[in-house]
Amino acid sequence: MTQKGSMKPVKKSKAEEPELEPLCCCEYIDRNGEKNHVAACLCDCQDLDEGCDRWITCKSVQPETCERIMDTISDRLRIPWLRGAKKVNISIVPPLILLPIFLRVASWHFLLGVVVLTSLPVLALWYYYLTHRRKEQTLFFLSLGLFSLGYMYYVFLQEVVPKGHVGPTQLALLTCGLFLILLALYRAKKNPGYLRNPASNDRSLGSSQIECLNRKGQEKSKGFLGTDTSGSLNNRTLKDDLKGSSRVLAGSPTKVKEDWCAKCQLVRPARAWHCRICGICVRRMDHHCVWINSCVGESNHQAFILALSIFLLTSVYGITLTLDTICRDRSVFTALFYCPGVYANYSSALCFTCVWYSVIITAGMAYIFLIQLINISYNVTEREVQQALRQKTGRRLLCGLIVDTGHLTW
């Protein structure tokens, strides 16, 4: 009898569960929880209709309307995939479309090349400060970097190699350098050293700190249900005691400075910071790098430096091979500024434009690499340098390349 009675509600619950219909490759569940189709991406968009009407009638569009339009576009921009269409981040699309167009337009004439190659860094910096001010994550720079690598390699294979001045060994070295860059970027993209919440794992706390917290918890919460047989505390008591323990440890002879992060609800060790873009604390955080869309911290700092160094070597080598091919009778430095007849042929003009684009990107990466080497030699992080400048405790030396933070951190 009991077995039959126990089986009835199980059958009833299974019958009550709604069966979800499988999605085809072009269907998806939108942000409103409704089933939609990729082909209907331009249908039933009142915000877009309102924005177009106001634009046609020369009326201003409200910022709220623009945000709703961008949210709708980002939700409906999808590609067909198995078991439902996959959402595509809209920030990765502009580099894929605009970069080839800009570079090919810049190859038409010398003046167009000057205008385009000058405007590209300005637009990139404008977009960086726009997203940095909003504290938003973006895949724009990661997409720009990866697509730039791929497109420069494609132009090299299509325009430079067929001219017959690049040998198989040189091409193999350049290809090997490209793959090493991708491997180093993959390693740098991994966990930079995220801090876990000690409330879920007490092993992240030191043994002396746990004993201090347990002793305080037993004195403050006798008979309280938040403590178990091992003497662990509830979340609220843990927060208060971790604050007190950080003050005790800060004044200890070892001078280990720890701080309580209210957002992550954990005790940060020395030199750890909370990234407002990633929304998590990182061990020995250096900075948030938009080129990898991740923080640079304790676990991936070496891979980040390795990726920069390999990129600089590979880029300089590719630039040298290209200039030696399109300007045979001149040195590399001279051909970069004076290469007569390069715009007479569209193929040579495109290669020369890509060379200058690579030079601009390489110069920016070289500056970042130089700052990193200086900070490493002084044993400071970029986050500590910026904090010292904001608090006016640091001094700029050597045209701002070196910042004396006022103390050494060993």
Taking the C-alpha atoms of residue 84 and residue 118, their distance in angstroms, rounded to an integer, is: 42
Taking the C-alpha atoms of residue 230 and residue 73, their distance in angstroms, rounded to an integer, is: 53
Return the exposure string of 99-119: e unless at least 16 CB atoms fall within 10 Å of the residue's CB, then b: beebbeebbeeeeebeebbee
Taking the C-alpha atoms of residue 201 and residue 261, their distance in angstroms, rounded to an integer, is: 16
| Residue 339 annotated among the catalytic residues of the structure | no
Annotated catalytic residue: which of 275, 278, 281, 289? 289
* β-strands 273-275, 280-282 pairing: antiparallel
- The overall longest dimension of the chain from CA atoms, in Å, is 98
Number of Cβ within 10 Å of residue 239's Cβ equals 16
Distances from the Cα of 306 to the Cαs of 111, 261, 292, 301, in angstroms? 37, 31, 13, 9
* β-strands 294-296, 395-397 pairing: unpaired
Task: Spell out the residues 6+ positions from residue 248 whose beta carbon is closer than 8 angstroms to its own.
Answer: 212
Active site residues: 289
